[in-house]
Structure 1
Amino acid sequence: MPTYTTDHSSSVLQTHSWRTASNSAAYLLPHIQPNMHILDIGCGPGTITLDLATRIPQGHITGVENTASPLDSARTLAHAQNLTNVDFQVADIHALPFADNSFDIVHVHQVLQHIADPVQALREMRRVAKPHGGIVAARESASSTWYPDNDGIAAWLELTERMGKAKGGNPHPGRYIHVWAEQAGFARGSIRKSAGAWCFSSPEEREYWGGSMEGRFRSSGFAKMAVEEGYASVEELEVIARGWREWVEEEMGWFGLLHGEILCWK
């Protein structure tokens, strides 16, 4: 099993907590019905999960994560929003603890890139999706670009890709997740491919995105692992952190992240 290199530190959860169904799963929303049962895998702090819960008032959603650490916050947020059609539990995407044909929709967002066997994960997602209309939905990053040129951000991309591969992951696989889906048993004609993007350019957006990235390289499980396992020095991490801060303070700063998306019908 690979290590999830970005862990669930406060700076990481800051990034994940910005995510909603609207900004991270818009490709899926037209297919949601009010009485559906949904499985959200890799739910983290639960913000996408809870946004989906509001769209299925007669249904139910289960959010799962491979560790318990972010789930208390997710439950607290659900309670604060008075959402009762949701539950959270620990589960391994490679061997889901659910019966065959259990869910109308099985969803992942930026999960397949971090795991040991994404094809097996998609097989499991397919297994627990209902027949005759059940949907498996996945969205994974494909590529990043930014303005202006920034050596620290370039070093960030190189380091995160190198560590992800060394830990058994597949960094930025959005351009070929449909290939994995076919290998997992979905018929080619049942796979719908699309693309979506995030863009951060306003002062508030730059502070959110770049500030959280700066924090990751100053204090997080990722930073600790990078140094302890010899992927980078403290000084190299500081170059990356400063690069993100420089980008935040650049009035013309712009960052784009392209995602590949698939909807697969069982």
Structure 2
Amino acid sequence: MATYTHGHHDSVLRSHNTRNVSNSAAYLAPHLTATTRLLDIGAGPGTITIDFANRAAHVTATEINADALGLSRALAAERGVTNIDFSIEDVHTLSFSDGAFDVVHAHQVLQHVADPVQALREMRRVTKPGGIVAARDADYAGFIWFPLLPELDEWLQLYRAAARANGGEPDAGRRLFAWARAAGFTEIEATASTWCYATEAEREWWGGMWADRILHSALAEQLTAAGMATDADLRRISAAWRAWASDGDGWYLVPHGEILCRA
């Protein structure tokens, strides 16, 4: 299993906590019903998971360890959501029986795993015949922004190098369709969607989040420990993120690949 590049620092969760079905799983939403039993791989802080629980009969949330899983467990308890259970899992070797779920979902997960094709095979195994395996991942090489600050190019190069050093594939979005075919799926609907940040509030949130993340998250620790960047480099990149956020011309696009696969 690959290492999760982002970690779970507050600067990371600040981003993850904004995710819900509407902005992160709209491609899957039409396939959810009041009888759906759904497995959510890599639930993170649980905001998408709990949104699923409001639309489905039952949701099982998974994470790679107890600390990570505790985030979604705490949110479910806080919101009084009871049709969720929780399990520590490795997506390469899931503990569930064959055909246990109607839908198996992973958001921003396959880019971080050691073998995404094997992960998709396991996701298919635990999905009932005719059910759906759904995945959505960003594609870092496709990120585009304005103004063209060289420090943000440097940030992207560093992030992609760190993710690959951890055994992941940061440009996963464009590969999802190919990975699904390699996993044996023959009925695949491949789509794409984006996040776009352009308003003053959006720039302040996105740029401020990354300005903190490049200094304080697991990514920052990895970059300095591996000698990929110095503290001064990271401070310079952080300042560029804040400069981008404060620029009235600032615009940022994050592309995602999506797949809906019939088991």
Superposition TM-score tier, normalisation by shorter sequence = over 0.9
Counterpart mapping for 1:62-77 below 5 A: 62-77=60-75
Amino acid at match of 2:25: A
- In structure 2, distance between residues paired with 1:69 and 1:172: 27
- In structure 1, distance between residues paired with 2:166 and 2:72: 27
- In structure 1, distance between residues paired with 2:50 and 2:82: 10
Residues 162, 222 of structure 2: 8 Å contact kept: no
Q: Mean Cα displacement is larger for which, 203-212 or 28-37?
A: 203-212
Residues 199, 257 of structure 1: 8 Å contact kept: yes
- In structure 1, distance between residues paired with 2:53 and 2:182: 31
Q: CA deviation at 1:74?
A: 1.7
Could you say what secondary structure the match of 2:196 adopts? strand
Task: Tell me whether 1:154 sits opposite 2:159 in the alignment.
Answer: no
Alignment correspondent of 1:109: 107
Q: CA deviation at 1:84?
A: 0.7
Task: Tell me whether 1:261 sits opposite 2:258 in the alignment.
Answer: yes
Alignment correspondent of 2:180: 181
- In structure 1, distance between residues paired with 2:150 and 2:244: 10
Deviations 1:79-98 (A, max 9, x none): 22221111222111111111
Alignment correspondent of 1:144: 143
Could you say what secondary structure the match of 1:76 adopts? helix
Alignment correspondent of 2:164: 165
- Consecutive unaligned residues of structure 1, counting only runs of 5 or more, are none
Segments ≥4 residues shifted beyond 3 Å: none
- In structure 2, distance between residues paired with 1:235 and 1:91: 38
Task: Tell me whether 1:234 sits opposite 2:242 in the alignment.
Answer: no
Amino acid at match of 1:197: T
- In structure 2, distance between residues paired with 1:228 and 1:159: 13
Alignment correspondent of 1:251: 248
- In structure 2, distance between residues paired with 1:154 and 1:86: 41
- In structure 2, distance between residues paired with 1:113 and 1:231: 21
- Consecutive unaligned residues of structure 2, counting only runs of 5 or more, are none
Q: Of 208, 214, 217, which aligns to 1:217?
A: 214
Q: CA deviation at 1:155?
A: 1.1
Q: CA deviation at 1:248?
A: 1.1
After TM superposition, the score normalised by the length of structure 2 is: 0.96
After TM superposition, the score normalised by the length of structure 1 is: 0.95
Alignment correspondent of 1:51: 51
- In structure 1, distance between residues paired with 2:260 and 2:244: 35
Alignment correspondent of 1:86: 84
Q: CA deviation at 1:179?
A: 0.8
Report the CA distance shift for 1:97/1:7 in structure 2 as closer, same or farther (over 3 A).
Answer: same
Residues 53, 59 of structure 2: 8 Å contact kept: yes
Residues 40, 64 of structure 1: 8 Å contact kept: yes
Amino acid at match of 1:94: H
Identity of aligned residues (%): 48
| RMSD (CA atoms) | 1.1
Q: CA deviation at 1:76?
A: 2.2
Residues 113, 173 of structure 1: 8 Å contact kept: yes
Amino acid at match of 2:49: T
- In structure 1, distance between residues paired with 2:80 and 2:9: 26
- In structure 1, distance between residues paired with 2:74 and 2:165: 35
Could you say what secondary structure the match of 1:156 adopts? helix
